Structure 1
Amino acid sequence: MLGRKKKTQFAKGGHTLFDHALVIDGSVRFAGTLDIEGTVNGDIVAEEGADALVRIRDKGCVNGELRAPKVIINGQVNGDVFADQHLELAAKAEVNGNVHYQVIEMVKGAHVNGGLVHITEAEPSKVESSAKVAELKVSSDAGAVQESKSQ
């Protein structure tokens, strides 16, 4: 129909692919869509206010902090993950760090070795300064989930 914008899986601002043979030592700042099949040894941060999506493919690895409005992980992340809008953990996802999310989808087989922190603040990108977060801790031996609120 005329005047209607079609929603796509890509974010506005272009599409960048880090191939499986690529290793980056240093931080990455981006806008748009970033697909990682290689290795990034450093933080990945979306530009402030950007409609950004980062995807860590099944062979991809990030050794650092990951911050973006939309995050899809099917590879490995060794560091904290901050997803202001939507986080998807696919079947081969492995996160070794805390996961901060607004909305989360987690498929059977995904691993999180850290805490799950639901962002309840109006400005979720400012998680460090936020006083209102609900933290979920997953106990691997009991299979139970505990919720504690911190202020």
Structure 2
Amino acid sequence: MFGSKKQPAIRSLVGEGTVVQGLLRFSGGLRIDGEVQGDVVASADDTSILVISEKARVVGTVKAGHVIINGTVIGPVESTHLLELQPKARIEGEVRYESLEMHQGASIDGALQRMNGGALSGPVIDDKPSLKLLATGNDTK
């Protein structure tokens, strides 16, 4: 879908039980299993992948090329290539993306805005209700 770009290896980890305070800048790949209280930003000059696992929590801005979220982010999220929201993803903040894959159960409390090649498309509409998709698991047939 994104040409022949190879995904970078995940070589950095914020482990479960670890709390990082302040700006976290990375290149290549990063996985967060702990908590970050501050911005998580990939270097702009390379392909990047950021994984925020089910147990992870980020309070701050998240910005990377390929972002996979299954934990909690309180703050804006920007994905310049692909944003994957797994079933337990919870985002409170504005979300900007080029391509979006959202699984049932993921929730966003904020505005969604698509980017075209890094540029925003269309006007921002603030008076719309937030999008919430929740899987109840109690479907009756």
> Normalised by the shorter chain, which TM-score bucket?
0.7 to 0.9
Q: How many residues are treated as equivalent by the alignment?
A: 128
Q: 1:72 aligns with which of 68, 73, 76?
A: 68
1:31 aligns with 2:21: no
In 2, the alpha carbon distance for the partners of 1:71 and 1:15 equals 15
Please identify the structure whose Cα radius of gyration is greater.
Answer: 1
In 2, the alpha carbon distance for the partners of 1:55 and 1:64 equals 15
In 1, the alpha carbon distance for the partners of 2:51 and 2:76 equals 15
Per-residue CA deviation, residues 67-86 of structure 1 (Å, 9 max, x unaligned), is 00110000000000000000
In 1, the alpha carbon distance for the partners of 2:89 and 2:69 equals 6
In 2, the alpha carbon distance for the partners of 1:6 and 1:66 equals 22
Aligned match of 1:97: 93
Aligned partner letter, 2:8? A
1:47 aligns with 2:35: no
Unaligned runs of at least 5 residues, structure 2: 134-141
> Is the 2:108–2:130 contact (alpha carbons within 8 Å) kept by the matching residues of 1?
no
Aligned match of 2:52: 56
Unaligned runs of at least 5 residues, structure 1: 144-151
Aligned match of 1:11: 8
Aligned partner letter, 1:11? P
TM-score (normalised: structure 1): 0.76
Aligned match of 2:122: 133
Q: CA deviation at 1:134?
A: 5.2
Per-residue CA deviation, residues 72-113 of structure 1 (Å, 9 max, x unaligned), is 000000000000000000000000001100000000000000
Over 3 Å counting, the alpha-carbon distance change for 1:35 and 1:79 in structure 2 is same
In 2, the alpha carbon distance for the partners of 1:61 and 1:136 equals 27
In 2, the alpha carbon distance for the partners of 1:140 and 1:30 equals 30
In 2, the alpha carbon distance for the partners of 1:60 and 1:32 equals 19
Q: CA deviation at 1:21?
A: 1.1
In 2, the alpha carbon distance for the partners of 1:80 and 1:133 equals 18
Q: CA deviation at 1:50?
A: 1.2
Q: CA deviation at 1:17?
A: 0.9
TM-score (normalised: structure 2): 0.81
Q: CA deviation at 1:140?
A: 5.5
In 1, the alpha carbon distance for the partners of 2:18 and 2:46 equals 25
Report SS of the residue matched to 1:103.
strand
